[in-house]
Chain A
Amino acid sequence: EDQVTQSPEALRLQEGESSSLNCSYTVSGLRGLFWYRQDPGKGPEFLFTLYSAGEEKEKERLKATLTKKESFLHITAPKPEDSATYLCAVRLYSGGGADGLTFGKGTHLIIQP
């Protein structure tokens, strides 16, 4: 069965303390891995798409990387406004071209000033 597992479930960091979030997947027919940020009661906000092992993408203090079995979201010198739930999702090939995403349960990140 296709699975997406994120770790840790929750992470509390001091402002400026860098860390990494993990997303491991056991799927067949992967057609993209996505990272989203979600604030309470709001819709997920798109961050990155990764398609192939070795690919890396950066945006401000965030950097996403992908291997054959997992992805990491590295957060460098985080600020309190980076506090949110970070969701990893995979897109599987269904043939229709409008494939739904399968999400992990997320990492709840808190950055303390």
Chain B
Amino acid sequence: AAGVIQSPRHLIKEKRETATLKCYPIPRHDTVYWYQQGPGQDPQFLISFYEKMQSDKGSIPDRFSAQQFSDYHSELNMSSLELGDSALYFCASSLHWTRGAPEQYFGPGTRLTVT
């Protein structure tokens, strides 16, 4: 079965640079979520989108922004990168709860290293 696709899988940036992470949800899934997982930590929810609109917001820094496009894929834009932004970034997708059980399926992640 098709899974969530994330690109790139690995990214190395320097401090103060910008980064863009991409997420392609499971076919027919209309809702996308972004999570950040630091070393040895649990995933922390950042933001979610449904039908191109921001739906729920977690601990996303003001330096980060995200959007969902008409084909349901999503991009997470990160600016003024800091060393503390080094982490695994996961995208997850689901059906909206009004269309069925909203189990979130996670992608393989993008490992961001800021030097």
Contact = CB atoms under 8 A, between A and B. Distances in A.
A3 to B, nearest CB: 12
Given A96-B56, A98-B31, A104 B104 contact: no
Contacts of B33: 98, 100-101
Main SS of the interface on chain B? Answer: strand
A31 B94 CA distance: 15
B40 to A, nearest CB: 9
A43 to B, nearest CB: 4
B90 A44 contact: yes
Nearest to A51: B101
B24 interface: no
A91 interface: yes
Interface string A74-109: 000000000000010001001011111111111000
- Interface band, chain A: 20 to 34
B72 interface: no
Interface residues of B, number: 35
Given A43-B108, A96-B55, A96-B56, A102 B103 contact: no
Given A36-B106, A98-B50, 6 more contacts: A42-B108, A46-B104, A96-B50, A98-B102, A99-B48, A99-B97
Interface of B: 4, 31, 33, 35, 41-50, 54-56, 58, 88, 90, 92, 94, 96-98, 101-109, 111
Closest CB pairs A-B (n = 7) = A100-B45, A96-B55, A98-B55, A43-B106, A103-B42, A98-B48, A98-B50
